[in-house]
């Protein structure tokens, strides 16, 4: 009743907002239908009528949902109110299954986008207050007052204590379910109905009657009094928290002293000599705080204390597993607060390497907030060396004559203090000059070198202990520590830093990055001191810019920083390995970004810059296997077994390189990701408790730190920036030699790097070919098409080519133009060829459609519906055999997938997902089932049957595997993915899908199949079929084959003309095998559960291996010349390719092969081509 009341209340508001929306033509043509469900039985049906959006109330009459493109499920009114109040909470609600989306969300995105400013999204945003008011009034009316009191005076309202102190209802004295029960925020809230929930989920509502409240002045006074009390309470709580943390840290020291004294007493009781030796060692440690031994003991004691406190808290929370979740979270936050303060104090005392490590860790938004707050103090709060030591170092490094020309103001402190050195502003009178100029002198701390070297020994021991405690959870730390040691010790040599700074400055000028690198003063460069030009700048932080440069364009600063790191990793090879905000300034005069402190740098050889460029390109194009290759090239060694999961690696990198957002939203994303990571570790499969790497190069550690810096700085400045696309601009130029001379603008679209189309179109043989060529070239120019090949054949007795065109290039990094002879990977279309090959055996009398596969060749759930034999040939060809799971359990590695006999045996040993009968797309098993039919029923091998089919075609360009003459894929356009970066939709989907695996029980058979394929998605990823070496040469029937558009069109035309099959069997080919009374729900359920691995929305209805393609799919009549009775048939591919037989008086076959999958609507280009062909046929 509550949901229905809310729906009725918001409908008038929505109808008003719809009048302001201007829909683009593409949305009007698609005419999407969207069901917005609130609860289980009420919702709003959104459709288009007369070019306008139409909202209708919908209530479930018990007959299920209407046919729609997208269903948005919202669990209840409370969830809806939270969404309206905070749209950024959508990912969290999706992960908790409070909000779910089903169907093709691209139609929802297109509908919301609208046209220009008159979009549905902007219209809805404008009416949020009206919607909120309508929802609140309707919900209050439906819920009623159940706490006893229907009206109170303002005195009662003012006495209502705030969230932090309230746990019970004033009216009924029952405890609230949530601590955030009621908040009074100003006068307006006092007039509103406040909804609360109790522990037993009984709703309660306290209503404030405006007439009984009294004068507005009294209301305002009471509210102000309440706010003052609330502020005082919060301050008291803050003081208490500080005292608690201080007391807890002091307790650590006290317990340590007690343990030492107790141990001393035990030794005294045992033997006097041992006691004296123990006491003497403690005294020596206390007297020699600066000694090496003291530092090592201090490090290991600190690590031991943190380990014990962490394990103690973990044990207490696990023991109290039935405690309230908020109590557990509170205990963990107290633990983190204590350990964070303790860690800061120990690092402050130790200094050296540990300070630098703490500075880098402080930038990590993934660590708990107390550690961020405490460790950030290390960026500014370090104690400087005395000035006399600074001056002594300058004299020792520069000599008496040059140091005499340097003037440092002894009354002014240093500009900055770091773990290695400190910097002072000075005046320098160069030889031969008459006036001094401002410089900055960087001077190393006297004990820095000794401390760093000793600290690395301790860090190495700690790393070995970590690996010893959990050898499967951590990779070999030696390469990481080796790189850290080399980089950090190089920082102690300022001559190397000066050389790095000069090289970085030259790289900035060569690549035209809008960044400033201070010039080094060549006369003032030593091992422990150096000088550079003074740049008057403001620290790159939101607070500093707001105070001193409020009008600066922050987005340009972020773009320059990201572009600079793109040059470092993918072009120059010298990258800054000490990324933290203290090294970034904004020049006051020019407003340009300044990058400081080039001591910690890593120099990548040329082959590694190529590998990192390949890594960025792989992440942008979601190429799992190219990412794996790139990681191996940069020094990562993977472990074998189930921990090898490229899909997880891709998710991590795409998340690290996701589009940045303001800090509030970024923090929420990090929190959700960390929670999901913890749940994967504790609740997920055991493989997530192991490291997938044997060895990981140290450069990867600094890459991760650099990416953290880019995201953190962008978020802190409140800028949303496409980090991956900006870096890709540089990486693409590195990988594409033919574009090496072009500068990659920070906002350049990858499509701009492809060769330009010829200005003049090739001469078309007729108007149809000319129109199709123009259509495909427009798709290419819009970035929807990478390479395409099209052929339209007349399938009548006077067979001829009606149109044959080719557009585009072989791939993103392959600029060779597509020609009419270029081979494409047919992917799913190969299933149609296999079906025709098997049906030719039926025509020849070798097999019958009702023949059953023997039990030794397949394993069904319990045989078939009529016995223990396997499915029939008709079941196999009609996708009704019950083997619709993506992979059998025995295929776990790439080698299994590429070995034809191993894969065939795995499918023969597999158990069917269900009994034969229901029609669901057999994406992975179809080819292997056909192979079993050929081998076990016809006594033939699949390759022989395929070759006979290919020989019957007028063109010979149809191959089950890539032919040897297509060397290095020069003649092949292999599949690719569109270049994208992780946005909100992808992030939400990732949270939702992984959350579903972790938190939801797999009920249906498709849901169980999705859980079974989890971790093996890479074995069916589209990028596997783009590998030119092993995958392209492997026989994977039904998953891939190779051919041209003319060969595929000839295949269909031959069947239409009766040259490949008998007329009777040709008619059977296109007759639907979908069970009577089935509306395709089984297929849609399969696509919903497995669509993240293999998009199957378009594979819903089949005949004998031929896909039934009804005209409503592309908005056509299905005929040429007004005869819509015969249904078009053919086969689609998940890459967007397809072949379609249009029957009728003028039958034609249309084949469109493309090499880039369009995620939004993969078959939109094919539908546009079919509409064009139909229009010409009808004309």
Burial of 826 (0-12, 13-18, 19+ CB in 10 A): buried
More confident residue, 151 or 49: 49
More confident residue, 188 or 603: 603
Please name the helix (run of DSSP H) or strand (run of DSSP E) that holds residue 604, with its range, or none: none
766-794 pLDDT tens trace: 899 999 999 998 888 888 889 999 999 99
Split at pLDDT 50, 70, 90, the class of 836 is very high
pLDDT of residue 743: 46
pLDDT of residue 189: 29
Q: Which of 28-37, 503-512, 945-954 has the lowest mean pLDDT?
A: 28-37
Split at pLDDT 50, 70, 90, the class of 463 is low
138-149 pLDDT tens trace: 776 765 533 333
Decide if 506 contacts 619 (C-beta within 8 A): no
Tell me the C-alpha to C-alpha distance, in Å, between residue 343 and each of 257, 450, 634, 1113. 18, 22, 33, 63
Q: What is the pTM of this model?
A: 0.71
89 has a pLDDT exceeding 80: no
Q: Which residues are bridge partners to 532 per DSSP?
A: 440, 520
Closest CA to 974 of 1118, 731, 812, 763: 812
SS3 589: coil
pLDDT of residue 678: 62
Count CA atoms closer than 13 A to 614's CA, side-chain side. 17
Decide if 119 contacts 126 (C-beta within 8 A): no
Identify which of 154-158, 228-232, 686-690, 1150-1154 has the greatest average pLDDT. Answer: 1150-1154
Cα–Cα distance, 708 to 292 (Å, whole number): 33
Query: CA-based angle 374:380:382, to the nearest 5?
Result: 90
More confident residue, 865 or 845: 845
Decide if 389 contacts 397 (C-beta within 8 A): no
More confident residue, 182 or 342: 342
Secondary structure letter of residue 738 according to DSSP: G
Decide if 1050 contacts 800 (C-beta within 8 A): no
Q: What is the dihedral of CA 177, 183, 189, 192, to 10 degrees?
A: 10
Q: Which of 114-123, 471-480, 965-974, 1082-1091 has the lowest mean pLDDT?
A: 471-480
Cα–Cα distance, 887 to 890 (Å, whole number): 8
Split at pLDDT 50, 70, 90, the class of 410 is confident
Identify which of 227-231, 328-332, 385-389, 1119-1123 has the greatest average pLDDT. Answer: 385-389
Identify which of 384-388, 467-471, 969-973 has the greatest average pLDDT. Answer: 384-388
pLDDT of residue 91: 63
Decide if 601 contacts 493 (C-beta within 8 A): no
Indicate the average pLDDT of the chain: 76
Decide if 604 contacts 575 (C-beta within 8 A): yes
Decide if 520 contacts 502 (C-beta within 8 A): yes
For the segment 480-491, the average pLDDT, to the nearest whole number, is 76
Cα–Cα distance, 1048 to 84 (Å, whole number): 51
Cα–Cα distance, 674 to 742 (Å, whole number): 40
Decide if 831 contacts 1086 (C-beta within 8 A): no
Decide if 397 contacts 406 (C-beta within 8 A): no
For the segment 1142-1169, the average pLDDT, to the nearest whole number, is 86
Decide if 753 contacts 814 (C-beta within 8 A): no
For the segment 549-558, the average pLDDT, to the nearest whole number, is 89
SS3 143: helix
Q: Percentage of the chain with pLDDT > 70? A: 70
Burial of 285 (0-12, 13-18, 19+ CB in 10 A): middle
For the segment 579-598, the average pLDDT, to the nearest whole number, is 87
Split at pLDDT 50, 70, 90, the class of 864 is very low
Other CB atoms within a 10 A radius of the CB of residue 767 amount to 11
Where do we find the tokens 């395409």? 788
Q: What is the dihedral of CA 1122, 1123, 1124, 1128, to 10 degrees?
A: -110
pLDDT of residue 531: 94
pLDDT of residue 680: 63
Secondary structure letter of residue 410 according to DSSP: T
Cα–Cα distance, 170 to 464 (Å, whole number): 58
pLDDT of residue 209: 32
802 has a pLDDT exceeding 80: yes
Burial of 813 (0-12, 13-18, 19+ CB in 10 A): middle
For the segment 118-136, the average pLDDT, to the nearest whole number, is 76
Split at pLDDT 50, 70, 90, the class of 939 is very high
Decide if 1151 contacts 1049 (C-beta within 8 A): yes
263's CB contacts (< 8 A; 6+ apart) are 278
Cα–Cα distance, 1089 to 1081 (Å, whole number): 12
Give the pairing type, strands 823-825 and 437-444: unpaired
Cα–Cα distance, 676 to 672 (Å, whole number): 6
SS3 707: helix
Where do we find the tokens 């820095």? 448
More confident residue, 361 or 848: 848
Split at pLDDT 50, 70, 90, the class of 675 is low
Q: What is the DSSP string of 338-379?
A: HHHHHHHHHHHHH-THHHHHHHHHHT-TTS-HHHHHHHGGGG
pLDDT of residue 154: 32
Alpha-helix runs per DSSP H in 115-271: 120-126, 128-143, 154-158, 187-191, 210-213, 216-270
Closest CA to 5 of 65, 94, 80, 64: 80
973-992 pLDDT tens trace: 889 888 888 765 676 666 66
151's CB contacts (< 8 A; 6+ apart) are 207, 208, 209, 212
More confident residue, 865 or 243: 243
């Amino acid at each position: 009743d509550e949901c229905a009341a809310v729906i009725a209340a918001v409908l008038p508001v929505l109808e008003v907002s719809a009048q302001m929306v201007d829909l683009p033509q593409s949305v009007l043509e698609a005419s999407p239908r969207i069901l917005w469900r609130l609860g289980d039985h009420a919702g709003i049906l959104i459709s288009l009528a007369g070019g306008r959006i139409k909202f209708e109330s919908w209530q479930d009459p018990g007959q299920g949902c209407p046919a729609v493109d997208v269903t948005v499920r919202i669990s209840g009114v409370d969830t809806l109110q939270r969404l309206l109040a905070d749209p950024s909470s959508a990912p969290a609600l999706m992960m908790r299954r409070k909000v779910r989306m089903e169907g093709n969300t691209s139609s929802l995105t297109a509908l919301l986008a609208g046209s220009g400013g008159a979009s549905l999204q902007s219209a809805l945003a404008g009416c949020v207050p009206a919607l909120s008011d309508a929802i609140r009034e309707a919900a209050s009316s439906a819920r009623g007052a159940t706490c006893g009191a229907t009206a109170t005076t303002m005195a009662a309202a003012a006495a209502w204590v705030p969230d932090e102190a309230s746990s019970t209802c004033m009216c009924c004295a029952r405890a609230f379910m949530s601590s955030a029960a009621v908040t009074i925020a100003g006068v307006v809230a006092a007039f509103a109905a406040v909804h609360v929930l109790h522990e037993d989920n009984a709703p309660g509502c306290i209503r404030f009657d405006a007439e009984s409240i009294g004068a507005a002045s009294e209301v305002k006074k009471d509210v102000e009094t309440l706010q003052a009390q609330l502020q005082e309470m919060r301050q008291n709580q803050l003081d208490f928290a500080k005292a608690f943390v201080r007391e807890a840290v002091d307790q650590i020291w006290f317990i340590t002293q007690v343990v030492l004294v107790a141990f001393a007493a035990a030794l005294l009781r045992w033997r006097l000599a041992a006691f004296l030796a123990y006491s003497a060692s403690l005294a020596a440690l206390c007297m020699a705080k600066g000694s090496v031994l003291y530092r090592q003991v201090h490090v290991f004691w600190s690590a031991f204390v943190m380990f014990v406190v962490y394990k103690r808290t973990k044990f207490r929370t696990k023991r109290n597993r039935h405690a309230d979740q908020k109590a557990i979270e509170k205990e963990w936050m107290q633990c983190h607060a204590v350990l964070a303060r303790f860690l800061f104090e120990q690092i402050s005392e130790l200094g050296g390497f540990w300070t630098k490590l703490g500075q880098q860790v402080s930038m990590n938004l993934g660590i708990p907030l107390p550690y961020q707050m405490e460790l950030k103090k290390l960026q500014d709060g370090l104690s400087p060396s005395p000035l006399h030591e600074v001056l002594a170092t300058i004299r020792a490094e520069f000599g008496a004559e040059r140091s005499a020309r340097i003037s440092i103001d002894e009354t002014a402190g240093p500009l900055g203090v770091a773990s290695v050195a400190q910097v002072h502003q000075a005046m320098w009178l160069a030889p031969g000059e008459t006036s001094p100029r401002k410089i900055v002198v960087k001077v190393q701390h006297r004990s820095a070198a000794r401390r760093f070297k000793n600290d690395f020994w301790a860090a190495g021991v700690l790393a070995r202990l970590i690996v010893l405690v959990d050898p499967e959870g951590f990779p070999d730390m030696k390469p990481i520590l080796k790189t850290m040691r080399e980089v950090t010790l190089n920082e102690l040599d300022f001559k190397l830093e000066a050389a790095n700074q000069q090289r970085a400055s030259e790289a900035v000028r060569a690549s035209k990055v809008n960044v400033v690198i201070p010039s080094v003063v060549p006369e003032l460069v030593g091992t422990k001191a150096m000088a550079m030009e003074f740049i008057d700048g403001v620290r790159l932080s939101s607070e500093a810019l707001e105070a001193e440069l409020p009008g600066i364009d922050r987005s340009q600063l972020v773009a320059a920083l990201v572009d600079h790191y793109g040059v470092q990793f993918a072009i120059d090879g010298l990258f800054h390995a000490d990324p933290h905000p203290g090294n970034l300034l904004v020049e006051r005069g020019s407003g340009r970004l300044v990058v400081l402190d080039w001591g910690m740098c890593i120099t990548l050889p040329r082959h590694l810059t190529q590998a990192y460029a390949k890594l960025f390109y792989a992440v942008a194009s979601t190429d799992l296997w190219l990412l794996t290759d790139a990681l191996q090239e940069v020094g990562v060694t993977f472990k074998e077994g189930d921990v090898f999961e490229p899909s997880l690696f891709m998710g991590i990198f795409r998340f690290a390189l996701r589009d940045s957002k303001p800090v509030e939203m970024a923090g929420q994303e990090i929190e959700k990701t960390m929670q999901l990571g913890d749940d994967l570790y504790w609740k997920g499969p055991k493989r997530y408790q192991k490291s997938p790497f044997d060895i990981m190069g140290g450069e990867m550690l600094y890459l991760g730190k650099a990416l953290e810096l880019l995201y953190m700085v962008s978020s802190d400045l409140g800028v949303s920036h496409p980090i991956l696309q900006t870096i890709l601009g540089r990486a693409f130029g590195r990988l594409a030699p033919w574009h090496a001379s072009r500068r990659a603008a920070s906002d350049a679209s990858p499509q701009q790097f492809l060769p330009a189309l010829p200005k003049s179109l090739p001469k078309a043989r007729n108007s149809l070919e000319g129109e199709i060529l123009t259509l495909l070239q427009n798709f290419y120019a819009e970035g929807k098409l990478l390479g395409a090949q099209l052929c339209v054949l007349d399938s009548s007795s006077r067979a001829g080519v009606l149109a044959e065109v080719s557009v585009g290039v072989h791939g993103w990094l392959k600029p060779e133009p597509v020609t009419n002879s270029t081979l494409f990977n047919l992917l799913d279309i190969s299933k149609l060829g296999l079906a025709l090959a098997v049906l030719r055996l039926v025509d020849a009398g070798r097999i019958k459609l009702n023949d059953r596969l023997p039990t030794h060749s397949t394993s069904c759930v319990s045989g078939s519906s009529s016995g223990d034999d396997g499915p029939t040939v008709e079941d196999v060809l009609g996708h009704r055999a019950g083997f619709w799971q993506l992979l059998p359990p025995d295929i776990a590695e790439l080698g299994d997938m590429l070995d034809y006999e191993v894969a065939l045996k795995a499918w023969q040993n597999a158990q069917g997902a269900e009994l034969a009968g229901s029609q669901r797309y057999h994406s992975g098993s179809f080819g292997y089932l056909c192979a079993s039919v050929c081998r076990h029923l016809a006594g033939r091998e699949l390759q022989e049957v395929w070759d006979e089919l290919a020989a019957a075609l007028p063109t010979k360009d149809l191959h089950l595997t890539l032919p040897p003459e297509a060397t290095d894929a020069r003649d092949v356009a292999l599949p690719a993915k569109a270049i994208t970066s992780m946005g909100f939709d992808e992030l939400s989907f990732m949270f939702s899908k992984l959350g579903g695996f972790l938190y939801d029980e797999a009920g249906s058979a498709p849901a169980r199949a999705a859980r079974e394929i989890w971790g093996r998605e890479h074995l069916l990823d589209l990028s596997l079929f783009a590998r030119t070496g092993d995958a392209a040469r492997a026989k994977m029937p039904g998953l891939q084959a190779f051919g041209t558009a003319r060969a595929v069109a000839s295949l269909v035309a031959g069947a239409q003309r009766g040259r490949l099959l008998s007329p009777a069997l040709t008619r059977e080919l296109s007759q639907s095998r979908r069970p009577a009374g089935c509306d395709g729900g089984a297929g849609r359920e399969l696509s919903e559960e497995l669509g993240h691995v293999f998009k199957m929305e378009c594979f819903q209805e089949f005949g004998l291996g031929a896909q039934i393609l009804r005209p409503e799919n592309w908005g056509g009549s299905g005929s040429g010349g007004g005869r819509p009775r015969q249904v078009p048939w053919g086969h689609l591919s998940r890459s967007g390719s397809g072949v379609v037989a249009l029957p009728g008086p003028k039958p034609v076959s249309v084949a469109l092969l493309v090499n880039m999958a369009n995620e939004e609507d993969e078959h939109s280009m094919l539908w546009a081509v079919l509409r064009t062909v139909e229009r010409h046929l009808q004309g």
